[in-house]
Amino acid sequence: MRNLFLTIAALTTVFFPSAQQATIKNVNSTEFKKLITKKDGILLDVRTLYEFKNGHLKEADQLNYYSFSFKDNLLLLPKNKPIYVYCKTGYRSKKTAEILIKNGYTKVYNLQYGIKEWKENNFPIVKDTSN
């Protein structure tokens, strides 16, 4: 009986992939750069506005992780597009990715070591010079 249960569980996973639990895809800066080059999703910086203005990835949207309305605004993002999320070190973006996964998002990519690693690899950033 136990073998029958295991067989059914395995077949369900193979034939019904939506039954699989969605997971966060933690990627390094090199892989993240390749992914965002596709321009098929939403690039989201979850640092503060001050951090964002001091250097962010080109074409990134900004949503302050510490804002009281953060989760409400986050969950307005479309579920049918990949979400590429980053912060300074990867902590806030990982927590953000967890919120997204818990709320039904399935294509969530986290820049594992944040913009810090991105800069260490000399990948381009944009600075906002406006006030």
Q: Where are the domains positioned within the chain?
A: 21-120
Smallest CA-to-CA distance from 106 within 125, 86, 130, 80 is with 80
> Of residues 131 and 122, which shows the higher confidence score?
122
CB 43 within 8 A of CB 84: yes
Q: Is the pLDDT of residue 27 over 70?
A: yes
What confidence score (pLDDT) does residue 22 get?
Answer: 80
Domain at 21-120: CATH code? 3.40.250.10
pLDDT-derived band at 33 (thresholds 50, 70, 90) equals: very high
Token pair belonging to 123: 């990948």
Task: Return the higher-pLDDT residue of 56 and 12.
Answer: 56
pTM value? 0.82
Average pLDDT (55-78) is 97
